[in-house]
Amino acid sequence: MEIINCLESSAFRKNTTHLIRHNVLRSVRTSAKPVYRTRNVFSANSVRSDFNIFSFIQNLRGQIGVAGKRIKIASRFAWLVPVFVLCAASPFFVSKFISFSESFAKNINLNPVSMEEFQALDNAMSEFAFDRSSYFDSEGNIFSEDGIKLETNSVLLKQPVVFQNYTVKPGDTISGISSRFGLSNISTLIAINNIGNVRSIYAGQKLSVPSVDGLVHLVLKNETLDSISKKYSVSVSDLLDINDLSSENLQEEQKIFIPGARLDSNSLRKAMGELFANPLKIRYRLTSRFGSRADPFTGVASHHTGIDMACPTGTPIYASMSGKIAYTGFSSVFGNYVIINHYDGYQTLYAHMSKIIAKKGDVVSQGTRIGLVGNTGYSTGPHLHFTVYKNSKLVDPLTVLK
């Protein structure tokens, strides 16, 4: 009985365990999701079915429309572009074209200045003098190369004057022609030939050359030989001899040669073109004269080689007299400078320019613009330093300016 009960109990346990396992497996199968294995398959038919030409065009039109709207919005502000460009460029144009004031006591940093630079510019000025074989003074008297003043042969003053014709050759000068014919003063050729400006003489021109120095006087109404004698400080007998006159009776508008007479200083300077024009055409302030002065930086006594003409930067500078540009350049002393050769050994220097306009070798007339006033080099403010040389010697510019 006990055995049966034990078997029954063991069978019961087996059945119970079997039922529990069955129910657990069933519940697991029912709760788990099914898993499928698939393969990725690319189908051309599916692609063709997705692409539509009409939808593509419609999409493209939409994109074009959006871009057009953006361009339209941007065009509303297009006017700002030139405004920005103008604002960016305005400082350049303002500094380039609008004059601005500067202090005449402006401090500047200077490099050490050597005497060699002064000497170099002096040599540059003297190197370009004309016709060193002979020259003349302010009264027209001709001097030889050795500095000896030429004299007229006194014997010729007692003989009738004789005139010769001479054809001007290339390279001829007034002093050269005069000395070749034994004349001692250039005013003789100028007066006899009515030369208003010696620079107008050209190769091939015919000149009348007298055998002795003097001028031709045109007799006025009621004028006598005695009055003419007193006017020119020449004896009546000399006037009779040199003009080969048999009597003292004169006719109105008769030409009388006056031996030894010469042009006055102003007439001579005018004919020689030596009435220098002012290199500035606006009002300026004369801040320093020619001669001794205190150095503007060191206060040490020094010799000022020209005159200083203070005016705003950018003021045009003009050639004081006709000539040829000999030098243009820069020096720590004179800054930007120009040197011009003029007739018969005259030269002019224009210094401290802000800009040089003329070029070396240019032939300029009186009044030609050669540069602009500046403050370059050894300078305390914007001004023109103007120097005049005559045969390599300094001349006070105020004595030759008009």
Residues 193 and 290 in one domain: no
Which has the closest alpha carbon to 402: 287, 288, 278, 308? 278
The reply to whether 241 falls in a domain is: yes
Spatial separation of the C-alpha atoms in residues 112 and 298, rounded to whole Å: 12
User: Tell me, what amino acid is at 197?
Assistant: N
Q: Say if residue 31's pLDDT is above 50.
A: no
Spatial separation of the C-alpha atoms in residues 287 and 310, rounded to whole Å: 6
Spatial separation of the C-alpha atoms in residues 128 and 347, rounded to whole Å: 8
Q: With pLDDT > 70 as the criterion, what percentage of the chain qualifies?
A: 68
Spatial separation of the C-alpha atoms in residues 168 and 153, rounded to whole Å: 24
Q: What is the pTM of this model?
A: 0.44
The reply to whether 206 falls in a domain is: yes
Given 272, 298, 326, which residue is the final one in a domain?
Answer: 272
Residues 298 and 383 in one domain: yes
* DSSP structure string for 90-144: HHHHHHHHS-----TT---------HHHHHHHHHHHHTT-S-TTEEE-TT-BEEE
Which has the closest alpha carbon to 232: 214, 246, 248, 247? 214
Residues 261 and 290 in one domain: no
Angle at 49 between CA 44 and CA 55, to 5 degrees: 130
- For residues 156-178, average pLDDT: 89
Alpha-carbon torsion (165, 168, 172, 175), positive or negative: positive
Given 223, 243, 272, which residue is the final one in a domain?
Answer: 272
The reply to whether 218 falls in a domain is: yes
Spatial separation of the C-alpha atoms in residues 201 and 188, rounded to whole Å: 15
pLDDT tier at 183, thresholds 50, 70, 90: very high
Residues 213 and 191 in one domain: yes
pLDDT per position as a tens digit, 248-262? 899 999 999 999 999
- Give the CATH number for residue 375: 2.70.70.10
Spatial separation of the C-alpha atoms in residues 227 and 215, rounded to whole Å: 16
Residues 248 and 293 in one domain: no
Spatial separation of the C-alpha atoms in residues 378 and 331, rounded to whole Å: 9
The reply to whether 187 falls in a domain is: yes
Residues 290 and 264 in one domain: no
Higher local confidence (pLDDT), 175 or 385: 385
Tell me which DSSP letter residue 393 carries.
E
Residues 391 and 360 in one domain: yes
- For residues 42-66, average pLDDT: 61
Which has the closest alpha carbon to 164: 193, 187, 142? 193
Q: pLDDT at position 25, please?
A: 47
Q: pLDDT at position 255, please?
A: 94
Q: Whole domain around residue 188: which residue ranges?
A: 163-272
User: What total of structural domains would you count in the chain?
Assistant: 2
Region label for 291, one of left (φ > 0), alpha (ψ between -120 and 50) or beta (otherwise)? left
Which has the closest alpha carbon to 175: 148, 143, 202? 143
Q: Say if residue 70's pLDDT is above 60.
A: yes
Residues 217 and 295 in one domain: no
Residues 240 and 304 in one domain: no
Q: pLDDT at position 174, please?
A: 86
Residues 317 and 250 in one domain: no
pLDDT per position as a tens digit, 319-367? 998 889 999 999 988 999 999 998 778 899 999 999 999 999 999 988 8
Residues 168 and 261 in one domain: yes
The reply to whether 363 falls in a domain is: yes
The reply to whether 297 falls in a domain is: yes
The reply to whether 70 falls in a domain is: no
The reply to whether 176 falls in a domain is: yes
- Give the CATH number for residue 202: 3.10.350.10
List b or e across 7-30, with b for residues whose CB sees 16 or more CB atoms inside 10 angstroms. eeeeeeeeeeeeeeeeeeeeeeee
What are φ and ψ of residue 62, in 5° steps? -65, -40
Given 237, 272, 307, which residue is the final one in a domain?
Answer: 272
Residues 240 and 330 in one domain: no
